[in-house]
Amino acid sequence: MSSSPSLEILVRDAEGFIVWNGPPFSSNGQPTPKNERVSCSSTKFSLDGSKFMAVKSDGTISIYESASLREVRSFTVANVTATEISPCGTYLQTFQKPTTPQEKNVSLWNTDTGDLAHSLYQKSITKTTWPSIRFSPDESSACRLATNEVQFFDPKNFSKGITSRIRVPGVAAFELSKTPASHVAVFVPEVKGSPGSVQIFGCGKDAESQPSARRSFFRCSSVQFSWNHGSTGLLVVVQSDVDKTNKSYYGETKLHYLTVDGTHEGLVPLRKEGPVHDVQWSFSGSEFAVVYGFMPACVTIFDKKCKPLMELGEGPYNTLRWNPKGRILCVAGFGNLPGDMTFWDVVSKKQLGSNKAEWSVTSEWSPDGRYFLTASTAPRRQIDNGYVKTSCYNIEFGILSASVGHSSSEQIEWIKIFNYDGKRYFKKMFERLYQVEWKPESPDRFDEISELLKSKKPVASIPTIQRPAAYRPPHAKQAAAIQAELLGVNPEGEMSKNALRNKKKREKKKAAEAAAASGSNNA
């Protein structure tokens, strides 16, 4: 595909952000900067990669055009504590600490005109409630969570106000489906002995008052939603703060699966006890991978009917990353694990390679599916290079509460880039690194990697799933055990050594008796 765009990487360190060209990098193996470094405190791309925002130290919020890195708009909003750019870069959303209940402290700005498109009041924000207004990936739908309901807006004209709403008493969280934005999932926690539930509703003006799918459960304090591409299935990780089996200090997790048409609602059949570490849909939306269980964790790939397709074995894993082209899966163990990475071609069922990336905080495939990026970024707990530092952060807002440490050397962070088969391609060290990410691009704009994989020799094969044995009723099992005890034959029909020895003795005795009898007859 001759029109394939070039890859770009945004890097933000203590001095600000810069954008790298590539990979592939120049002949000296080093990236070339696309712009002069710009001082800022945070940055974020829009989901489609057309724009990105940068919050500068003076409080100014700048919107840049990603292709040219030209600043197209800037906003100055006093006392801003949170910002968000919409998936297509059309809107900038800001949150200010409210001083009175009448003050509308959430503002939605049009990034092209700079006009205020909508505003509303919100007392506070958490990870569950921010951003206040959620958009579908193509910005065809917009909605927000209110008391006992989900409210919908016209993304092209917010002056219309609320265009429709779905009443759900006690709703605490929601998630719009991916493209097409046809459905919304809501979570209602358990209250006074009543079970919690996840429900799926249709979106739009003709939104149904009754859910198209519903799943109820007890012992649920929070959930994580994961829609597939195509908006036909929803995976729900249900978290409980308390594990009644006392096997885990961190509580209990269960993985549920629902389809929007209600044909499937139930638990995903996991073959090992323990937490669900990660679950990821492939980009085709036809299968998903789960890493689960007490260490060493298991990795299983399921189809859309929750039937296991293949097992990837066990290991110190807690992270899954699907290649944008769909056929390569990286299974890794980051965070407090050693950093092992294994790369699998799930189409040919072969292992392409493996490597390590210790202390990785972030990991992401390039849009073309040829490179895998990992990085060790701040803040994190340092125990390497003679440096020990513990930083305490407010989970909801990311505010540093306390920091204690001592150092015998400088704190070091890094960026590592690997090829699709796990071979390291690039490494760069930083004294302080805050953020690194690929510029988003549609994977459809890049060539397929199937030809690339044909020349790659696999290092291992995916083990096949053993088919379960035929069902045998209890009385048949007991009869087989009695037979084995009396005759020395196991249930599979094989004889033990003692039984075989006794059988030979009996045969010899019969042969001797037969010979003696024939001799007496001749006499």
Mind listing the pLDDT tens digit for each residue in 23-35? 888 878 889 899 8
Q: Which residue's entry shows tokens 């082209």?
A: 325
CA–CA distance, 223 with 200 (Å, rounded to integer): 14
| pLDDT range class, residue 450, cuts 50, 70, 90 | confident
Q: What is the pLDDT of residue 398?
A: 37
| pLDDT range class, residue 379, cuts 50, 70, 90 | confident
Q: Does residue 402 carry a pLDDT above 50? A: no
Q: Does residue 304 carry a pLDDT above 70? A: yes
Global pTM reads 0.79
CA–CA distance, 514 with 170 (Å, rounded to integer): 88
| pLDDT range class, residue 388, cuts 50, 70, 90 | very low
Q: Which residues pair with 54 in a beta bridge?
A: 43, 62
What are the distances in angstroms from CA 350 to CA 207, 283, 480?
A: 45, 19, 40
What number is the average pLDDT over the span 48-74?
92
Mind listing the pLDDT tens digit for each residue in 46-57? 999 999 999 988
Q: Which residues pair with 59 in a beta bridge?
A: none
In terms of phi and psi (left: phi > 0; alpha: psi -120 to 50; beta: otherwise), the region of 306 is left
| pLDDT range class, residue 203, cuts 50, 70, 90 | confident
Q: What is the pLDDT of residue 399?
A: 36
Q: What is the pLDDT of residue 297?
A: 94
Number of Cβ within a 10 Å radius of residue 114: 13
Q: Which residue's entry shows tokens 């899954």?
A: 320
* Region of poorest pLDDT, from 38-42, 50-54, 220-224, 490-494: 490-494
